[in-house]
Amino acid sequence: MSYDTLNWSNEDGVVEITMNRPENANALNAKMADEIFDAACRCEAEGARAIIVTGAGKMFNGGGDLAEFDAASDKADHVTRMATILHAALARFAHLDAPLITAVNGSAGGGGFSIAISGDIVLASDRAKFVSAYTASGLTPDGSSTYYLAKHVGLLRAKELMLTNRVLSAEEARDWGLVTRVVQADDLMTEARALAASLAKGPTKAFGGVKRLLDSAFSEGLETQLDRETRSIALMMRTVDGPAGINAFLNKRKPEFRGE
């Protein structure tokens, strides 16, 4: 399947999704939301073991396509439909076993900011900038940023970013906890692809278990979280990679994980 607003590739379990509307700052429109949802479903169907999301051109994603919003005859209905589809896509990425790397090649604002910080690993170009931007247009955030931002930076800093629309450089975003690592712009995709290739050779089911356990780290009590840990580690013993990894360790061999 080909896309109008995305570029897609899948090589050896590494899926690369590039938001591709560079003439419009890769802004999110209804078509892109539909295609991101399709891409998220396709990652699961094609057995992705690592995923990279990035942007074409100089921007990662400038946010929602406000011109399309303004032109809609029923603006509330348009935004409801678009946000619902985008949110379904982001939830699917979050629930996949495959780790999601966001490779932030340039400015990330509004919905682009939200997508950027939703990654399991966030790599940023040294030219990247981060801004919530929603309230500057009289809007409230979407795209999961109210879920992730306070977890990453704390409640007071999250309020500052969303109320004042303070712009963070890549280095500031890393220091605040929004970014995993900052790399030179020319090296961003090389670094992202190398990391994705390494993750794609790992125990994918275990990665998924880690994602799900950490997702509830701020919301569950100790005993509930301990029970989740018990059930998750026991489930790994029913996978191919769990017992194989133990056997490789005991026999001092490098494990060859199948992601099963």
> Which residues does the annotation mark as catalytic?
87, 142
Query: Both ends of the chain: CA-CA distance in Å?
Result: 26
DSSP 64: B
Strand 168-169 and strand 121-125: the pairing is unpaired
- Please give the distance of CA 31 from its chain centroid, rounded to a whole number: 19
Contact 111, 133 (CB under 8 A): no
Strand 14-19 and strand 50-55: the pairing is parallel
Whole-angstrom CA distances from 166 to 150, 153, 156 are: 15, 14, 13
- Other Cβ atoms less than 10 A from the Cβ of 96: the count is 21
